[in-house]
Amino acid sequence: MNRTLFLILAVSVFTGVMHAQSNAEMDKEIESILSKLTLKEKVAMCHAQSKFSTPGVERLGIPEVWMSDGPHGVRAEINWDDWGYAGWTNDSITAFPALTCLAATFNPELSGEYGFAVGEEARYRKKDVLLGPGVNIYRTPMNGRNFEYMGEDPFLASTMVVPYIQGVQKSGVAACVKHYALNNQEEWRGHINVKVSERALHEIYLPAFKAAVTKGRAWALMGAYNKYNEQHCCHNEILLNKILKTDWGFDGVVVSDWSGAHNTMESALYGLDMEMGTMTNGMTDSEEYAYNHYYLASPFYALLKEGKIDESVVDDKVKRILRLMLRTNMNPTRPAGNKNTKAHQDAARKIATDGIVLLKNTDSFFPIDPKTTMTIAVIGENATKSITIGGGSSELKAQYEISPLQGIKNRFKNATIIHAMGYASGPSAYGRVIPSKLDADSLFKAAVKAAASADMVLFIGGLNKNHHQDCEGGDRLTFGLQFGQEDLITEISKVNPNIGLVLVSGNAVAMPWLNKVKAVLQSWYLGSEAGNAIAEVISGDVNPSGKLPFTFPVKLVDNAAHHFGKLSYPGNNIDVVYEEGILVGYRWHDTKKIKPQFAFGYGLSYTGFDLNNIKTDKKTYSADDKIRVSCEVKNSGSRDGAEVIQVYIGKPGSEVTRALKELKGFKKVYVKAGKSEQVLVELNVNDLAYYNESAADWSLEKGNYIVYVGNASDNIAQKLKIKID
Ligand code: BGC
């Protein structure tokens, strides 16, 4: 290799910067390759050849495209033709915290670190496309897949998704943002038709996808299983052809969700580029090569041959696929990637500690002095249960996973730690609930006994990744905690009221036990470093600074989707009607004055923060202006910590229904004990527009607006009036 080329390669590997071709060069190369392909070869590139790959063109040196789930780490190798694990011994990886945790950090920089690290792992594992991130909006706490998404607010999800995508793609791997669109429940996900107003579609459900495409420049996108406008989202004229490819100018590849394609003509004409996961009629006993049964395989070829579909249709798909390849596996300066590095583990731990949310802390229960010699009873199945196994396609084979119990033992060396499981949920199995064989009564009694003998209790429970908990392929069945946890907490509180509860979940849960425990930490699914991260927060090594990315309602009917009854969730098996329109999450609670258990944006700290001197730079703005909101954040306590300044905007007397207020800007700031930091949050005036259904476009209303500045959606330090003219 000559010296200059070596240097370019070395620098690009080192910095992670790729010297990609310009668009014009790329287009030229694409045209040149396309002209050499036969129709058969083109069609073959549009569908799978195995569970997670599409074929290349050997005679031209065009490689295969390899994909992997996503989004919390790179999934273990799957068999060629079925869902079994291939049993490799070199495919264990770093498990990163679930995306709900990432969203709870309110820290876009960490999202970039997350994306880059997981991208490097995907690259090392020779993947070209990482199937993630997911940005479906949190509409109901019953959705089994909420843990894979970024919460209920479109602005938060849009802000957090962009650096993740840029990070992944900097590693030379395409991010595949999913599941586009309206896949907000798992129940009947394969066929349910979502009826939603145009306004809610554009204001709530699409913005994060739009940001992923127009700002994150995602190279791939996955269609959702469900239908919109009576058409499956994987071949949907409005969502894919009009909105994604025309209005947003998406130049990447639309991948179907696995078995999300249903019809050749629609797949061909309505925006699908790569068909994956379709069940063929006979993987093993078919006479013909099984993958030829795909909708975009032989049936597509036949229609092209007969002239019923124009060749420009397949050409467009192949051009997109080649573009993805020139950006990834055909880019000679692509970085090399690596996995399980200290940097990745540190990133996983940092994101985990930054995302943990302190919900309640009576009598400063937390932090617990790490030198304590007390007896601590650690109770609950989640103290030891793996949280990277299960959950469906986001399941991971972590190289290691520190359990909460292990993390606590490591950090509280002088304490006597006793552990009781307390309840048992049974093993994880996809699509099935397998009851535990352990005797529930004995587990219950042993836990109460352990609690009685200890100075304090750390109850580590919540949900898990089993079917009907936080898991793909099914929704939750109850809003409360299962397996007797609610009774167990009550009984424990009778023998030892000194309880701190660590809620492991990706969803809100009912908390009838809230006044029986002193403290609650929302700890999500934290990945490889789970136990260390929890111990760091419990011990006060890290001051918690996470904020809820979704509302915890008191009762399920307080949630907007549930307020409107069955047709609104889960639907009637044909349609689901989003009756609440734009009033999703805190927008509903605020506007209808329904007090939540814990509000969107809420989260405590071990120190206190005062927000002073809150101002806007002007009183009157016009479109295209920036609104600069400044504020002084004083750390009034004795520990260093971080606070998230949140700026919401409301439009009183609007010509259309509006939420009382909507998040339009935020900034996380680290402030040393006793010190102050000046914070500037910039908002775009154009972001205050609403989607005008009759104009099919965004409308910016003139007049008075209210700027709400606070550290939670229900804790506003100051309201300011501004005017748009
Ligand atoms: C999931 C996708 C996933 C795909 C491949 C589907 O069931 O919905 O999120 O990427 O499987 O595993």
Residue range 91-116: average pLDDT? 98
Q: Return d(Cα 433, Cα 425) in angstroms, integer.
A: 9
| Among 130, 393, 395, residue to substitute to test ligand 1 (most atoms within 8 Å of Cβ) | 393
Is the pLDDT confidence value at 285 over 90?
A: no
Q: Say how many C-beta atoms besides its own lie within 10 A of residue 284's C-beta.
A: 8
Which numbered atom of ligand 1 lies nearest the CA of 78? 12
- Ligand 1 touching residue 178 (CB < 6 A): yes
SS3 label, residue 686: helix
**525 backbone dihedrals φ, ψ, rounded to 5°:** -110, 110
Length of the chain: 725
Nearest to 677 by CA among 650, 704, 712, 641: 641
User: Which residue puts its alpha carbon closest to atom 6 of ligand 1?
Assistant: 258
CA–chain centroid gap for 160, Å, is: 9
User: Which residue puts its alpha carbon closest to atom 9 of ligand 1?
Assistant: 393
Q: How far is the CA of 500 from the centre of ligand 1 (A)?
A: 36
Both tokens of 328, joined, read 């990834």
Q: Return d(Cα 351, Cα 72) in angstroms, integer.
A: 12
- Ligand 1 touching residue 258 (CB < 6 A): yes
With residue 495 as reference, give the H or E element that holds it.
Answer: helix 485-495
Q: Say how many C-beta atoms besides its own lie within 10 A of residue 652's C-beta.
A: 11
Q: How far is the CA of 350 from the centre of ligand 1 (A)?
A: 27
Q: Percent of the chain beyond pLDDT 90? A: 94
pLDDT band at 19; cut points 50, 70, 90: low
Nearest to 461 by CA among 411, 430, 420, 494: 420
Is the pLDDT confidence value at 448 over 70?
A: yes
The burial class, CB within 10 Å (0-12 / 13-18 / 19+), for 495 is middle
pLDDT band at 1; cut points 50, 70, 90: very low
Both tokens of 618, joined, read 């002007």
Phi-psi region of 530 (alpha: psi -120 to 50; beta: other; left: phi over 0): alpha
Q: Return d(Cα 583, Cα 204) in angstroms, integer.
A: 9
Is the pLDDT confidence value at 59 over 90?
A: yes
Both tokens of 205, joined, read 């459900």
With residue 650 as reference, give the H or E element that holds it.
Answer: strand 641-650
The burial class, CB within 10 Å (0-12 / 13-18 / 19+), for 625 is middle
Both tokens of 203, joined, read 């204001």
- Give me the helices (H) in 293-341, please: 298-305, 311-327
Looking at residue 10, what is its pLDDT?
38
Going by DSSP bridges, is the β-strand pair 662-671/357-361 parallel, antiparallel, or unpaired?
Answer: unpaired
- Ligand 1 touching residue 131 (CB < 6 A): yes
Q: Return d(Cα 550, Cα 524) in angstroms, integer.
A: 12
Residue range 329-337: average pLDDT? 96
Quote the pTM value. 0.96
Both tokens of 366, joined, read 């937390």
Is the pLDDT confidence value at 674 over 70?
A: yes
What pLDDT, in 10s, does the model give residues 499-537? 999 999 999 999 999 999 999 999 999 999 999 999 999
| Among 274, 472, 475, residue to substitute to test ligand 1 (most atoms within 8 Å of Cβ) | 472
- Residues 6+ away with beta carbon under 8 Å from 287: none
Which numbered atom of ligand 1 lies nearest the CA of 75? 12
Q: How far is the CA of 546 from the centre of ligand 1 (A)?
A: 28
- Ligand 1 touching residue 75 (CB < 6 A): no
Nearest to 433 by CA among 149, 144, 192: 144
Looking at residue 288, what is its pLDDT?
66
Q: Return d(Cα 568, Cα 584) in angstroms, integer.
A: 12
Q: Return d(Cα 527, Cα 533) in angstroms, integer.
A: 10
Both tokens of 27, joined, read 């287009």
User: Which domains are seen in the chain, by residue range?
Assistant: 3-15+41-327 (3.20.20.300), 356-547 (3.40.50.1700), 551-603 (no CATH), 607-724 (2.60.40.10)
**383 backbone dihedrals φ, ψ, rounded to 5°:** -65, -25
Q: Return d(Cα 637, Cα 54) in angstroms, integer.
A: 57
Q: Return d(Cα 636, Cα 623) in angstroms, integer.
A: 38
Is the pLDDT confidence value at 2 over 70?
A: no
Q: What share of the chain is helix, strand, coil (3-state, %, to 5)?
A: 30, 20, 45
Helices and strands, number each (H, E), in the chain: 18, 28
Distances (CA, A) of 717 to 102, 536, 632, 633: 25, 30, 12, 11
- Ligand 1 touching residue 257 (CB < 6 A): yes
SS3 label, residue 208: helix
Q: Each residue of 156-183: b (16+ CB within 10 Å) or e? A: bbbbbbbbbbbbbbbbbbbbbbbbbbbb
Rg (CA), the chain: 26
Is the pLDDT confidence value at 13 over 50?
A: no
pLDDT band at 290; cut points 50, 70, 90: confident
Helix axes 23-36, 311-327, angle to 10 degrees: 130
Nearest to 139 by CA among 561, 475, 563, 572: 561
CB-based contact 479:522 (threshold 8 Å): no
Both tokens of 249, joined, read 């100018």
**135 backbone dihedrals φ, ψ, rounded to 5°:** -130, 30
CB-based contact 378:410 (threshold 8 Å): no
Work out the mean pLDDT of the chain and round it to a whole number. Answer: 95
Q: Each residue of 194-230: b (16+ CB within 10 Å) or e? A: bbbbebbbbbbbbbbbbbbbeebbbbbbbbbbbbbee
Q: List active site positions.
A: 257
What pLDDT, in 10s, does the model give residues 337-372? 999 999 999 999 999 999 999 999 999 999 999 999
- Ligand 1 touching residue 69 (CB < 6 A): yes
Q: How far is the CA of 108 from the centre of ligand 1 (A)?
A: 25
Both tokens of 94, joined, read 């770093």
| Among 69, 75, 475, residue to substitute to test ligand 1 (most atoms within 8 Å of Cβ) | 69
Is the pLDDT confidence value at 14 over 70?
A: no
CA–chain centroid gap for 468, Å, is: 19
Q: Return d(Cα 566, Cα 554) in angstroms, integer.
A: 19
- Residues 6+ away with beta carbon under 8 Å from 359: 503, 520, 521, 522, 548, 552, 598, 602, 603, 604
Looking at residue 7, what is its pLDDT?
37
Straight-line distance from the first to the last Cα atom of the chain, in angstroms, rounded to the nearest whole number = 62
Phi-psi region of 364 (alpha: psi -120 to 50; beta: other; left: phi over 0): left
Looking at residue 280, what is its pLDDT?
61
pLDDT band at 320; cut points 50, 70, 90: very high
Q: Percent of the chain beyond pLDDT 70? A: 96
Residue range 16-41: average pLDDT? 87
CB-based contact 154:203 (threshold 8 Å): yes
Which numbered atom of ligand 1 lies nearest the CA of 148? 9
Q: How far is the CA of 392 from the centre of ligand 1 (A)?
A: 8
